[in-house]
Chains A and B, each alone.
Chain A
Amino acid sequence: MLLFILRRFYQTVIVVIGVILVISLLMASLPGDVARMRAPKGASEETLENIRQKFNLDKPWLTRLWIYLKGLPRLELGDSFTYKRPVMEIIGESLPWSVKLAIAAEIIIVVFGILAGVISAVFRYSFLDVLVTISTSVLVAMPIYWIGRLMQLFFSQWLHWFPPSGAPPPGTGLLGSIPYYVMPATALAAISTAYVARLARSSMLEVLRQDYIVTARAKGLSERKVIYKHALKNGLIPVVTYLGIDFGVLIGAAVLTEMIFNWPGVGHKLYFAVIQRDHTMVIGLVFILVLIFVAINLLVDISYAFLDPRIRLGEAPEVT
């Protein structure tokens, strides 16, 4: 067990070093005259030169690369030039909103994804199965920001069920803020829910074919017991692993949904940074989000090892 955790840690450290290297390369190669973008309009050549010196822009490419390489492990990400504030500060303000939305989305993914997948597998080829298969395929094929707009059109514009966009205003109680979460969280969860449902279905079908299920049925157990006591535990193992990887999909989706729903999270900030060509901010946000993704995957893998003895003992094949 300890060996597994150590090995996983070592892998993560290598990945983080790689990520730092890649991000430094990107930062050092950013296009455009950053000094001119930061300076007020009509600034003199002298001011520009000062800005260049301040942000090391006058140094050669390799020197800059080295400066970023030294700074990144200490999370020195520089200033956003649209906000004129350190990128880390902006992340600190917006991250809690994204985390709350992600938790809401994760609940939807787990509940609806697994439910749909298991129903679909147990009642294979039934109307419900066909419905789940078709709707998950269509969801996966939809641009996520379009899903968001469609929801706004149907549930807000036409049906007036939920507020069209925005986070709950300050002072709203837990119950009162739920309507604000429903649409953005559902849009954020849509694609992952579809993936989880498809995965749960195929993995349940795989398990239901196995000998021990036949044995359980032969013993005369009720179908309910066979499925919930015997099949579900093993059938959901791939789903649990996937949830870690899926967090990456969720982060990406957040960039596109938070903007549509005007949600004050990191994705929203990233969207505007991209639109306004605030390059320092873009790369800084990407860096932090990638680190979070890597950390979550590490946690998922370790907790997963506790659950599955085969992984602990290093017998199971590498999870792809």
Chain B
Amino acid sequence: MTDRKRPEDYLPGKEQPEFLGPEVEEFEAELEKERVHGRTALWRDVWYRLRHNKMAMAGLAIIVFLVLVALFAPFLAPYDPIEQVEIRTPGGVKQPPSGKHWLGTDDLGRDILSRLIYGSRISVEVGIVAVAISLVLGLFFGALAGYFGGWADSVIMRSADVFFAFPTVLGAIAIMTVLGPGLINVFIAIGVLGWATIARIFRGSILSVKENEYVEAARALGATHSRIIWRHIMPNAIQPIIVYATMSVGGAILAEAWLAFLGLGQQPPTPSWGNMLAEYLPFYNTHPWMMFIPGTAIVLSVLAFILLGDGLRDALDPRLRGSI
């Protein structure tokens, strides 16, 4: 963690300012300046170390590419992803890759490349929305538990224990059974299942940060609870969360894939990488290349988030500073 410098006038030996009325605001503003400055320095440092990590940069490049493809899918896809372009052509279905269809056609005569390009949208959506849900719930309850302690802590952490008792696949299956299949419910199931881990990590880092003197100082100044949590504790407690959330995006993409395999994900004909893989899997012995296409796309994008997460962890770890 960075050790923040305090404004000069707070140091012993100098004239102590009276913390009343406008002075409090002035001091806070001063702190704020320090904070912003400190943060940029930290992040510049992190970015510097990240930039020298080839694996992490490869991951970042894949992620940027994935997001761009998802954003510009309609301009990139050569065909309509749902239209059965080659269904009437003799030998048109399950065509191997060719100049006309770069990645071939599937069992219904649809262009696989176009489906892959549109499918990336689902993966990006699942990754962002599900992890955002986990983050909102996890950070809120983690902060509540870690900062206030007492019975709130007990209740929240015991409920988290109950969530930990459900292995992810089983939990997702149970939730999806009640909610029914569909993309929105995939967001909810994966998002809801993820909160407990984030809450536990955040609670842990809050507990270690909240005893610091600068938190005590902020409290003495009469800062509100939410201000102390979000302005003073959060920037220092958030680092393990950033790493975990990055990796979770990969986990969510993977979860979409196995939920689709169970018939619970994005429903056909709308393409998602998960339902494409599930759909092409039965042709593994006659047309093996079909399953390699969505499979490789899933592995590459999940891998990208794992590599970036690994890199971020190393870049954020002060013990590893200078050991790139």
Which A residues contact B (CB, under 8 angstroms)? 11, 14-15, 18-19, 21-23, 26, 29-31, 137-138, 140-146, 149, 152-153, 157, 248-249, 251-253, 255-256, 270-271, 274-275, 279, 282-283, 286, 289-290, 293-294, 320
Contact = CB atoms under 8 A, between A and B. Distances in A.
Nearest to B310: A137
A18 B161 contact: yes
Nearest to B175: A26
B284 interface: yes
A255 B165 CA distance: 17
Contacts of B168: 248, 252
B295 A143 contact: yes
B167 interface: yes
Among B159, B169, B263, B310: residue with most chain A CB under 10 A = B169
B92 interface: no
Contact of A256 (B161, B261, B310): B261
Interface residues of B, number: 45
Contacts of B201: 320
B169 A256 contact: yes
Contact of B169 (A31, A253, A283): A253
Contacts of A31: 178-180
B38 to A, nearest CB: 28
A146 B291 CA distance: 8
A11 B161 contact: yes
B284 to A, nearest CB: 5
Contacts of A146: 257, 277, 281, 291, 295, 298
B270 to A, nearest CB: 19
- Judged by DSSP, the binding face of B is helix
B11 interface: no
B162 A30 contact: no
A14 B165 CA distance: 11
Given A143-B298, A255-B169, 15 more contacts: A15-B161, A18-B161, A19-B162, A26-B174, A138-B303, A142-B298, A143-B257, A146-B257, A146-B295, A149-B284, A153-B285, A253-B169, A255-B170, A286-B173, A294-B165
Nearest to A146: B295
Contacts, number: 128
Contacts of A138: 299, 303
A283 B263 contact: no
A274 B277 contact: no
Nearest to A317: B204
Q: Which 8 A-B pairs have the closest CB atoms?
A: A252-B169, A18-B162, A248-B167, A141-B302, A141-B303, A143-B257, A252-B167, A141-B299
A282 B176 CA distance: 11
B72 interface: no
Interface in B140-184: 158-159, 161-162, 164-170, 173-175, 177-180
B254 interface: yes
B174 A286 contact: yes
A141 B254 contact: yes
A249 B167 contact: yes
A143 B277 CA distance: 9
Contacts of A251: 167, 169-170
Contact of B281 (A145, A248, A255, A320): A145
Contact of B306 (A29, A140, A271): A140
A15 B254 contact: no
Contact of A15 (B165, B300, B307): B165
Contacts of A252: 167-170
